[in-house]
Amino acid sequence: MTLTPPAFAMDLDWRCFHPQPAKPTFRLPAGAVDTHCHIFGPGAAFPYAPERKYTPCDAGRDKLYALRDYLGFERNVVVQATCHGADNRAMLDALVHSDGKARGVATVKPDVSADELAEMHAAGVRGVRFNYVRRLVDPQPDAYYLGIIEKIAALGWHVVIYFEAADLIEKWDFFTAIPTTVVVDHMGRPDVSKDAHGPELARFITFMERDNIWSKVTCPERLSASGPPGYDDVVPFARTIVERFPDRVLWGTDWPHPNMKSHIPDDGKLVDYIPRIAPTAELQRKLLVANPMRLYWPEEMV
Ligand code: 0GY
């Protein structure tokens, strides 16, 4: 007997996604979109990037779409994960096998060609992600990202930025000069041990007062010190952002939850967290349906 070793061995301390998430008690509104999730490989078909900073457990599109149906979402936005670098093949493969139910956010380099961008657009990509989190990537100078913005703006794409709270001060001038719609991942990662009425969240609110800035109110599991199932310490931060900017917020599961060290989040419980940060049916409809549809499927808006 010969045993074929897996193409990539995941990191020894890697936590795979939850094997049996709970069925949510919160019923998602019809047409709900999970706007932040990833595909990992599988590595044998879509190799992880040589420059990656982690090697995950495989988490392919079939598993993502099964979770979508189980939780009650109708659509996904698949965000290119850093373990695939700027090789978007796994994400694009997920989009073209989604029956039109998935859009994507890619990672590209400034030398990306117009033909490559057009192909990605046809597959469903509507944005690019600039990642400033040093444990995930080596951030590049502004000129690098400006070269990308010049190319993608003509397609009507937006920019997703992922940064740590302290980076907002340093990158303020650059971030506020981006001419496209800008979507901030996970509320700019606030330190939720601080006061939700303190200067850090106030700074983020000032940032969001620009009409082109949106925020994903995602990832309580990453930000929380109090932990599951309620992620109570994150609630006042996310609820403030949702109530203040109801037309520019998005929600997503973050499946398969890369780099979670404290615990494996239960995706069903994460869905049950939504009404705590968006307490009315109207806020829920905007967060889960109207806003993501406007950004990712505007052609379907009546
Ligand atoms: C997230 C967060 C993380 C990872 C990535 O692309 C990625 O590797 O985004 C993280 O480790 O904080 O949004 O999934």
Q: Which amino acid makes up residue 133?
A: V
Q: Is residue 254 part of a domain?
A: yes
Mutational test site, ligand 1, from 48, 222, 255, 270, max ligand atoms within 8 Å of CB:
222
Q: Is residue 20 part of a domain?
A: no
Q: Is residue 118 part of a domain?
A: yes
Q: Which of 254, 266, 267, 272 is catalytic?
A: 254
What is the rounded CA–CA span in Å between residue 102 and residue 74?
A: 9
What is the rounded CA–CA span in Å between residue 204 and residue 171?
A: 12
- Whether 62 is a known active-site residue: answer no
- The residue range of the domain holding 188 is 33-295
Coil, strand, or helix at residue 205? Answer: helix
pLDDT (tens digit per residue) in 74-84: 999 999 999 99
Backbone phi and psi for residue 87, each to the nearest 5 degrees, phi listed first: -95, 100
Q: Is residue 45 part of a domain?
A: yes
CATH number, domain with residue 261: 3.20.20.140
Atom in ligand 1 nearest the alpha carbon of residue 260: 11
Element of type H or E holding 242: helix 235-244
Q: Is residue 25 part of a domain?
A: no
Give distance in angstroms: CA of 219 to centre of ligand 1.
Answer: 10
* pLDDT, position 38: 98
* pLDDT, position 302: 64
Q: What percent of the chain has pLDDT over 70?
A: 99
Element of type H or E holding 161: strand 158-162
- The strand pairing partners of 125, in sequence order, are 104
Q: Is residue 14 part of a domain?
A: no
Q: Is residue 149 part of a domain?
A: yes
- In the structure, how many helices (H) and strands (E) does the chain have? 11, 8
What is the rounded CA–CA span in Å between residue 41 and residue 56?
A: 9
How many CB atoms neighbour CB 69 within 10 A? 9
Q: Is residue 184 part of a domain?
A: yes
The pTM assigned to this predicted structure is: 0.97
Domain count, the chain: 1
Atom in ligand 1 nearest the alpha carbon of residue 259: 11
Confidence of residue 245 (pLDDT cuts 50, 70, 90): very high
The set of protein residues with a Cβ atom below 6 angstroms from ligand 1 is 38, 81-83, 133, 136, 185, 222, 254, 258-259
| 59 neighbors 91 (Cβ within 8 angstroms) | no
